[in-house]
Structure 1
Amino acid sequence: MNVLLVDDSRLARTELRHLLQAFPDVTVVGEARHAAEARARLQDLRPDLLLLDIHMPGETGFELLASLEAAPHVIFTTAYDEYALRAFEVNALDYLLKPVQENRLAAALEKARAKLLAPAVVEAVAAPAQSVPDEPPPTLLTEHDQVFVKDGERCWFVRLSDIRLFEINGSYTQIYFEQHRPLIPRTLQHLEQRLDHKVFFRANRQQIINLKWIESIEPWFSNTLKIRLRGGPEVEVSRQQSVRFRELMSL
């Protein structure tokens, strides 16, 4: 498990390095003193886990996360206990108060291992999206990536594999995960270019579904299909996409 330490205190980073030596499967791949440095390290190193301070010069740890389209799992390390609720609202794995205790760090790392070792099965294969000529293709997000979602005053840090549906809602896109339905200012076309086509399928002009959340499929009118997702809702697949879906899911 590769870890990036983000803290403006050199002493705090040194102490974390020392504590992490007790865990043979953990490798500290880098350090960052502030959000700007962390962004560069994240892009270069792509760690599995971020040990992240909240109060830093310039941007806070929360502001760093809000600026990322995809990020590793996060464990907050801070001297302040008043941000714990907010930390879990962005789906942080844990919230460790300084000075960090080895037993609490061990428990937090175990949560990270459980997330990283969760099995994933991909059954459908699709052609990659066509990129715009003379422009680099957009960075593809895998189902294991996490994205920061903000809707008004609420925010979440969501693994893409937990999102079962993207649906147009006015000029926004609504995201379905757990019991939540936040709206984001992104088009389905933009999302389709970023999402892994092995996992996410454009069912019609209004909806993109996560193939792993399919509960049942039934024939529908005019040779189309109707798909029920675990946790709802039902999605009607367009005629053209029904043909493509049958091709993708056939041997």
Structure 2
Amino acid sequence: MKTSAAAPLRVLIVDDARLARAELRTLLAQIEQVELVGEAEDVPQACAEIARLHPDLVLLDIQMPSGSGFDVLDALERVPAVVFTTAYDQYALRAFEANALDYLLKPVDPARLAAAIDKARQPSPPATGTVSGDDTRSALGAEDQVFLRDGERCWFVATGEISRIVVDGNYVRVWFREHSALLARSLSALEARLDPALFFRANRNTLVNLRHIRTVEPSVADGYTLGLRDGGQAEVSRRQARELRERLAL
């Protein structure tokens, strides 16, 4: 790897196996501009160390006696970039192939690890986090990523990819790409975490990403029907129609 004048990439290792941690330490020592800031061997320790150290990258095992790598991500409000290191290739591929920064099978190949490190540098990974209802934290911008989990399905999603969020019983359904995920959150809690310049409260049950609006058509009761780029629709209430006109006007 070429020497860079940039600050070293700060890496945390999370693995319950002592030998696996030692192997990763040895491999990281061979890569320039990498700083190993700490290690953790279970889920609680991993969460504590990520919150304390704020690493740029976490090398995260998937299966541990105290829980899983999924549990680590679920427990965090904002997490760094993640590369999974696991012996369970099929499980890792199914959940994270298209969403995590990378996954590495044990025994970890040095070239694959170096490539993952390069990927983490290009550019500095955007902050990621679970969607949460704590409105004391800064709003998530379009490029910030959130970790979404619906049963055994998991994704890393840039908030700008979310087209709409709709109340679904006691939950909310988040629509993104060609997928949707059901979350145990309130719509108001998510609205407090999302950039108000990006997301618009179309009605009491729906948030819409303004960048995903393709068409605006008048509807009954002086509202609007929004056609979205993914083929979905959202109704704008009469109460919100004026605000929408102001938001979209020149």
**If the length of structure 2 is used for normalisation, what is the TM-score?**
0.75
Of 10, 29, 51, the residue aligned with 2:59 is 51
Residue 19 (structure 1) aligned with residue 18 (structure 2): no
Q: Which residue of 1 aligns with 2:241?
A: 242
User: Does the 8 Å CA contact 2:167/2:173 hold for their aligned counterparts?
Assistant: yes
User: Does the 8 Å CA contact 1:140/1:193 hold for their aligned counterparts?
Assistant: no
Q: Which residue of 2 aligns with 1:142?
A: 140
Give the residue type in structure 1 aligned to 2:227: R
Q: Which residue of 1 aligns with 2:99?
A: 91
RMSD: 3.2
Give the residue type in structure 2 aligned to 1:19: L
SS of the equivalent of 1:203 reads strand
Q: Which residue of 2 aligns with 1:215?
A: 214
Gaps of 5+ in 2: 1-8, 127-132
Cα distance 1:171–1:56, how it changes in 2: closer, same or farther (>3 A)?
closer
- The aligned runs of 1:156-235 (5 Å cut-off) are 156-159=154-157, 160-217=159-216, 224-235=223-234
Cα distance 1:83–1:240, how it changes in 2: closer, same or farther (>3 A)?
same
Give the residue type in structure 2 aligned to 1:200: F
TM-superposed CA distance for 1:110, in Å, is: 4.3
TM-superposed CA distance for 1:18, in Å, is: 3.9
TM-superposed CA distance for 1:192, in Å, is: 1.5
* The structure with more strand, counted as a fraction of residues: 2
Partner Cα separation in structure 1 for residue 199 and residue 57 of structure 2: 25
Partner Cα separation in structure 2 for residue 61 and residue 78 of structure 1: 10
Q: Which residue of 2 aligns with 1:126?
A: none
Partner Cα separation in structure 1 for residue 192 and residue 135 of structure 2: 8
Partner Cα separation in structure 1 for residue 164 and residue 65 of structure 2: 38
Higher deviation after alignment, 102-111 or 24-33: 24-33
- The aligned runs of 1:25-36 (5 Å cut-off) are 26-36=34-44
- The aligned runs of 1:54-69 (5 Å cut-off) are 54-69=62-77
Partner Cα separation in structure 1 for residue 78 and residue 231 of structure 2: 26
- The aligned runs of 1:104-115 (5 Å cut-off) are 104-113=112-121
TM-superposed CA distance for 1:208, in Å, is: 0.8
Partner Cα separation in structure 2 for residue 21 and residue 181 of structure 1: 41
Percent identical across equivalent pairs?
45
**If the length of structure 1 is used for normalisation, what is the TM-score?**
0.74
SS of the equivalent of 1:245 reads helix
The one-character-per-residue Cα deviations of 1:171-219 (angstroms, maximum 9, x if unpaired) are: 3211112222232222212222232323322121121122333334455
